[in-house]
Copies of this chain bind each other. A is one copy, B any other.
Amino acid sequence: MPVPTAFARDQWYVAAYSSEVGSETGGEEILARTVCGEPLALYRTPEGEAVALADRCVHRRYPLSEGALEDGRLVCGYHGFTYDRAGACVSVPGQARVPRTARVASYPLAELDGFVWVWIGDPARADVSAVPRAPWLADPEWTVVRGMEPLNARYGLLVDNLLDLSHETFLHGGYIGTPEVAATPITTEADEERGIVRVSRHMDDAECPPFYADSTGLKGRVSRWQDIEYHAPCLYLLHSRIAPVGSVPGADGSDPDAFHTEIAYAITPSTETTTYDFWLVARDFAREDEGVSGFLHEFNRTVVLQDVTALDILEKVTAEEEGRRVQELSVGIDAGGLAARRVLERMIAGSAKPAAAGVPGGPEAVAAR
C-alpha cells in the first residue's frame, strides 16, 4: 500500500480561496491553477459568479489564463477566440461563423466556506451537497488566518504527513511539537464507504507548545486533544482543544475553560508530483486580537514551510527510488496514514477514467474537438 500517485476522479477539490478569484470590486484577473493534472482558468463574471474553464484554447492550445476578460467573456491572448462562461466559443477572428464544436470544458463549481471547490470528473455526477464542510472557516464567530504553500511533492506525502501528527515532536519541536505528541497512542477509525478517516490523540497532562501557550496565555501543563477528521481526498480537519489539566467538556457540550482551534488543510493534487497546500487556523478565543492573529499566521506558516521542506526532500527520494523494490516499515503511529491510503486507493480504483485517456477536460472537452 504505497503512497498513491494517481488522482481520485469524480471528486470535489479546492482550487482556490474565493478571495483569489476576481475581486470584490470586479477585478478582471484570471487565475491559472492545475488540479489533478487538469489546467483551469478561474475568473469571476461581472455578476460575481466564479467560473472555471479548461485552460486551453480549442484553436492552438494557448492557455486562456494568459488572455483577458471582456464583458465577462474570456478572450484568448493569442488569436482572440472568445468564450462565454459555459465554455462555448462565441467569436473567432477573420470570420463570422463560429464552428459548432468550438467549446472548452466548464467545470462544476461551488463556493463554500471561503473555498472555490471544483469537480474533477464526469460533470453529470457532480453533486454540490457532497462537498465536505468546514463552516467555522466562514463564520463570524470564528477568526481565521490562512495561506497556501505550493509543494513540490505528490499529494499522498502530505496526506501521510497530516494523518500522523507524531512528527510534530521532531519536525516541529519548539513550535507545535512536544514529547507527549509522539509518546501518546492514537485511536483510528475509517469509514471507507464515506471516505472518512478519524484519528484521535488525547493528552491529558502535556507540555503546552509555544503555538498555544503564546496565543491562549495558558501557563503550565495542559490537557491537549487532537481530533482529526480527514474527508478524502481533499479536506483535512483537525479539531484542537487546549484546556487546563483536568478540565473536560460539560455533559451539555459546554466547554468554557477550553480554547478551541479548528485547523484545516485542503490537500489539492496539482500534477503527479506537485500539490497545493491550503492551510487555515480558526479560533474561538482572542478573536479581535490582531497580535494573536499575526502570531498564529506567522507560526503556522513556519510550521507548514517545515513540512514543505521535508516533503520536497521526500519527493526527491521517492522519485529516485521509483521502480526499486524499496519498502517502508510501518508501526502503530501509521494506522491513520495507512487507513487514508486505503481509502484513497479505493476512490482511485472506483473513479472512472477520463473519457479519452489523457485528455484534460473530460468528455465535454473531447466532444468539443
**Residues of chain A having any CB pair with chain B under 8 Å:** 56, 58-63, 66-67, 75-80, 92-95, 99, 101-102, 160, 164, 166-167, 169-171, 182-186, 310, 313-314, 317-318, 321, 323-334, 356-360, 368-369
Please tell me how many copies of the chain the complex holds. Answer: 3
Contact (Cβ within 8 A) A60 B95: no
Q: Which residue of B lies closest to A58 (CB)?
A: B329
What residues of chain B lie closer than 8 Å to A327, measured between beta carbons?
369
A62 and B310 contact, Cβ closer than 8 Å, known pairs A75-B170, A94-B333: yes
Q: Contact: A79 with B182, CB < 8 Å?
A: yes
Chain A interface SS verdict (over half):
loop
A62 and B313 within 8 A (CB): yes
Bound CA–CA A294/B274 (angstroms): 45
CA–CA, A3 to B187, complex, Å? Answer: 56
**Across the interface, do A183 and B66 meet the contact criterion of CB distance under 8 Å?**
no
**In this complex, what residue of B is CB-closest to A101?**
B329
The answer to whether residues A62 and B369 also contact, given A79-B333, A94-B184 and a CB cut-off of 8 A, is no
Write out the residue numbers on chain B whose beta carbons fall within 8 Å of the beta carbon of A56: 317, 326
Closest B residue to A182 by beta carbon equals B93
> How near does chain B come to A328, taking the closest CB pair, in angstroms?
6
Chain B residues contacting A313 (CB-CB under 8 Å) are 62-63, 66
**In the complex, are the beta carbons of A80 and B314 less than 8 A apart?**
no
Residues of B within 8 A of A359 (CB): 324-326
Complex CA distance for A259 and B214, rounded to whole angstroms: 68
Q: List 27 A-B contacts (CB under 8 A).
A: A56-B317, A58-B328, A60-B314, A60-B328, A61-B314, A61-B318, A61-B328, A62-B313, A66-B310, A67-B170, A77-B170, A78-B171, A79-B166, A79-B182, A80-B182, A92-B331, A92-B333, A93-B166, A94-B332, A95-B331, A95-B333, A102-B329, A321-B360, A325-B356, A326-B359, A326-B369, A328-B369
